[in-house]
Structure 1
Amino acid sequence: MSKNARVSLIIVAVVAVVVAGFLLFNRNSSTTAAPRSADGKVTVVEYLDLECPSCRAAYPGVEKLKTEYGDRVTFTIRHFPIPSHRNAELAAVAVEAAGAQGKRDEIFKVMFESQQEWGGQQTSQRSVFVGFAQQLGLDVAAFEKALDDAKLREQVLNERSEGSKAGVTGTPTFFINGTKFSGAPSYDNLKAAIDRELS
């Protein structure tokens, strides 16, 4: 075999190995629903307003993502009650009051599922939120006391202030690993952004 023929064969073999490796890598990465990063961790922080229809629209997708990613992605909620929403601040306090009794996730679900009934009202919806507490089997007296707790209200307002400093101007606003997410907060868009961080 001539020297040129040997060189040609070596080049062909090297190219074949590179192409095979590339195809194998692409096949593996495309079949992984949520690729794992080096440390396997991503943090998603959502600033939301419980009276905001866009937050309600984003809620099912966020819940689906929580289920799909499990402990690889940490989802954190921060309150950002918009002042023009009459009951948003009290709703946030109600969530924290329910959280003190271990029912934070449950009351979030009820709040969003019934938002069209209580949201947009110009009168206090306190009695509605107390009804949610009864529905969830909470200690209603403790819940009502917590609704008047200045510390819980301060916690909610501090989260809003923290959001404003971070550049939050509306809800929902997401930060993925500290970077503000831009674009419509749909399930597909958020999933794509999380996958980029994990890969």
Structure 2
Amino acid sequence: MSKNARLSLVIVAVVAVVVAGFLLFSRNDTTAAPQSVDGKVTVVEYLDMECPSCRAAYPGVEKLKSEYGDRVTFAVKHFPLPMHRNAELAAIAVEAADAQGKKNEMFKALFESQPEWGGQQTSQRAKFLDVAQQLGLDPAAFEKALDDSALRDKVLASRTEGSKLGVQGTPTFFINGTKFSGAPSYDNLKTAIDRELAK
């Protein structure tokens, strides 16, 4: 083999190692929360329906949604904390309402009524059924959905995903894949979103 051929092989090998290393590090970076899509900003919130802090953040998040429109994608992920007796069932109730096209309505109703059912050490299933009826959902279909193991698995999978990303408490926000630090107030979240939009 000529000297030039050997040199070419060495160069190819070095390039291959560099490319492989780049791909490896890139893949590791993508294990974070969802990134922006089409140049927009993505805000992911891991929350617990029984968490008072999540309820406190809710109005500000809703205001941000209305202000940014399609420039910012907001996604909610369930992260029911074990200390909250009814958080998991409340998350399932939200998903059960989704099957009847009333996910957002259930989400809002449960937060608004949280002082009535939050912190209780007994099952609030009857309360959630009552809320579903008030929203005009089919009560039989809704109650059946509350017992759907697939919906429970979906909620628990969301919590597992959050745990892998370092979520320990709620609410926890990720903005374009970066964990948001600081109080999740309207002003603080808006500042962080505007910073991403300006990039």
TM bin (shorter chain): 0.7 to 0.9
When normalised by structure 1's length, the TM-score is 0.80
Instruction: Report the Cα distance in structure 1 between the residues aligned to 2:190 and 2:134, rounded to whole angstroms.
Output: 33
How far the C-alpha of 1:176 sits from its partner, in A, is: 0.3
How far the C-alpha of 1:87 sits from its partner, in A, is: 0.1
Q: Which amino acid aligns with 2:120?
A: Q
Q: Which residue pairs with 2:138 in the alignment?
A: 139
How far the C-alpha of 1:84 sits from its partner, in A, is: 0.8
How far the C-alpha of 1:48 sits from its partner, in A, is: 0.2
| Number of aligned residues | 162
Instruction: Report the Cα distance in structure 2 between the residues aligned to 1:181 and 1:59, rounded to whole angstroms.
Output: 16
How far the C-alpha of 1:180 sits from its partner, in A, is: 0.2
Instruction: Report the Cα distance in structure 1 between the residues aligned to 2:174 and 2:164, rounded to whole angstroms.
Output: 13
Q: Which residue pairs with 2:75 in the alignment?
A: 76
Instruction: Report the Cα distance in structure 2 between the residues aligned to 1:62 and 1:140, rounded to whole angstroms.
Output: 29
Partner of 1:56, secondary structure, is helix
Q: Which residue pairs with 2:114 in the alignment?
A: 115
Instruction: Report the Cα distance in structure 2 between the residues aligned to 1:88 and 1:188, rounded to whole angstroms.
Output: 27
Instruction: Report the Cα distance in structure 1 between the residues aligned to 2:81 and 2:103, rounded to whole angstroms.
Output: 20
Instruction: Report the Cα distance in structure 2 between the residues aligned to 1:195 and 1:172, rounded to whole angstroms.
Output: 20
| Structure 2 counterparts to residues 1-199 of structure 1, below 5 A | 39-199=38-198
How far the C-alpha of 1:40 sits from its partner, in A, is: 4.8
How far the C-alpha of 1:89 sits from its partner, in A, is: 0.1
Q: Which amino acid aligns with 2:177?
A: G
- Cα deviation per residue 1:69-126 (whole Å; 9 max; x = unaligned)? 0001000000000001000000000000001110010011101111001000000000
Q: Which protein has the larger Cα radius of gyration, Structure 1 or Structure 2?
A: 1
Q: Which runs of 5+ in 1 are unaligned?
A: 1-36
Partner of 2:84, secondary structure, is coil
Partner of 1:156, secondary structure, is helix
- Cα deviation per residue 1:45-83 (whole Å; 9 max; x = unaligned)? 000000000000000000000000000100000000000
